[in-house]
Amino acid sequence: MAQIVGKGKLRMGMVGGGPGAFIGPVHRMGAELEGRIELVAGAFSQTAERSKAAGEFYRIDPARAYAGYKEMMEAERKRPDPIDFVAIVTPNHLHLPVALAALEAGFPVMSDKPATISYAEALDMERAVAKSGLPYGLTHTYAGYPLVREARAICASGMLGKIRKVAVEYFQGWLSRAVEAEGNKQASWRSDPAQNGPGGCIGDIGVHAFHLVEYVTGLDVTALNAELRTVVPGRRLDDDCNELMRLSNGATGVLMASQVAAGERNGLRLRVYGEEGSVEWYHEDPNRLRVRWVNGLEEIRHAAASYLSKDALAVTRLPIGHPEGLIEAFGILYREFADAVLGWKTGKANPVPDTLPGIRAAVRGMRYIEQTIASSKAQKWVEF
């Protein structure tokens, strides 16, 4: 229980996450999991009435369920017990304006991904974060799993030798039909370029896969050769992507993302091959990591096992064999963000740990979306 520092709970204000939202309650559960953060305020929806209803759902003080994010920031700043940071869980087009307002008001920001709706916006965000000096975190959730940390530690340790090849895929099937035309709220805003930005499938899940590659290998993607498609007739954004990648050390790779892979659930799988062996992690079996050596020996490493790296053990809560899942992974990112907020409050330099996806991941991710679209249009390799 060493993770707990400081007294009292950090107060979170949420923007977005109103009735019908999926990710808002998940952020709340993740944020509050360790008892260090408490949701106390929110601008949950675009009408005062619906924001109130959400406030009731979250059981917060009705006075702190605001009609808009600007109102929230203004009001909270004047309170004796203001929020300590803002969590942004709106549709993508609001990420930047909300974040800018928060930073300006002096609130650290924890944002859902993708960071913005364009690379240009991401650069704006980067500048604003730098100028503010405030902690900024981005919920690339998968970075919160212990065995993703283990894979990262293995790559960093050099045990695999030089990385040669990467295969990452993120397969879902829930958009196999035009469910956005049938009133599915999640599908609806995601298929609207104005709210979602120009990357459909790649903005929703491809960017997770991309991040995972760079996060685990410690390498940068340097070039892409993509084929982006809209498979379901009438859909306004891409729903499927295959692309070749090149990495900064000369390795190559493949990234596949699809939301029309009928029968798939939420299948994010990463495989990294080095000279001496390889690692494989699969999101639907998150508490195991397969490590394979060049002689054919295969190890299965289990979450919470004593032989794991320090980095992996630091983020495991339960004993071996006791499954943790997505909410716990969110919890890890919020734990590290809380540490960053506390560090910032106490004047610590660079309080955001490099294990927590932050502004660099934000910029890289938006660049990924932009260049994937560019490559697919041009039908050729594009430099990154």
CA angle 375, 381, 384 (to 5 degrees): 80
Contact flag: residue 28 with a second copy (CB under 8 A) = yes
Residue recorded with tokens 């091959």: 273
- Exactly one of 70, 165, 360, 367 binds a second copy (CB under 8 A); which one? 165
Tokens of 360: 């660099």
- Exactly one of 71, 275, 354, 383 binds a second copy (CB under 8 A); which one? 275
Contact flag: residue 253 with a second copy (CB under 8 A) = yes
Question: Closest distance between a second copy and the C-beta of residue 287, in Å?
Answer: 7
Contact flag: residue 53 with a second copy (CB under 8 A) = no
Q: Distance between CA atoms of 23 and 100, rounded to whole angstroms? A: 21
Helix, strand, or coil here: 147? helix
Of the candidate spans 86-94, 98-106, 169-177, 209-217, the one that interacts with a second copy by CB under 8 A turns out to be 169-177
Say if residues 327 and 30 touch (Cβ distance below 8 Å).
Answer: yes
Question: Closest distance between a second copy and the C-beta of residue 284, in Å?
Answer: 6
Torsion angle of alpha carbons 197, 199, 205, 210, nearest 10°?
A: -110
| Closest to a second copy by CB, 301 or 359 | 301
Question: Closest distance between a second copy and the C-beta of residue 274, in Å?
Answer: 6
Tokens of 313: 């053990």
Q: At what angle do helices 69-78 and 95-104 cross, to 10 degrees?
A: 20
Pick out residues in 88-147 that bind a second copy (CB under 8 A). Answer: none
Question: Closest distance between a second copy and the C-beta of residue 106, in Å?
Answer: 24
Question: Closest distance between a second copy and the C-beta of residue 227, in Å?
Answer: 5
Question: Closest distance between a second copy and the C-beta of residue 309, in Å?
Answer: 13
- Exactly one of 69, 142, 273, 384 binds a second copy (CB under 8 A); which one? 273
Closest by CA to 168, choosing from 205, 117, 223, 197, is 205
Pick out residues in 282-341 that bind a second copy (CB under 8 A). Answer: 283-287, 291-302, 305-307, 317-328
| Closest to a second copy by CB, 209 or 366 | 209
Residue count at the site for a second copy (CB under 8 A)?
94
Reported as half-sphere exposure (CB side, CA atoms, 13 A), residue 324 has a value of 24
Q: How far is CA 334 from CA 138, 216, 236, in A?
A: 10, 19, 34
Question: Closest distance between a second copy and the C-beta of residue 124, in Å?
Answer: 31
Binding mask 204-243 for a second copy (x = CB under 8 A): ---------------------x-x-x-x--------x-xx
Q: Distance between CA atoms of 330 and 174, rounded to whole angstroms? A: 22
Amino acid letter at 219? Answer: L
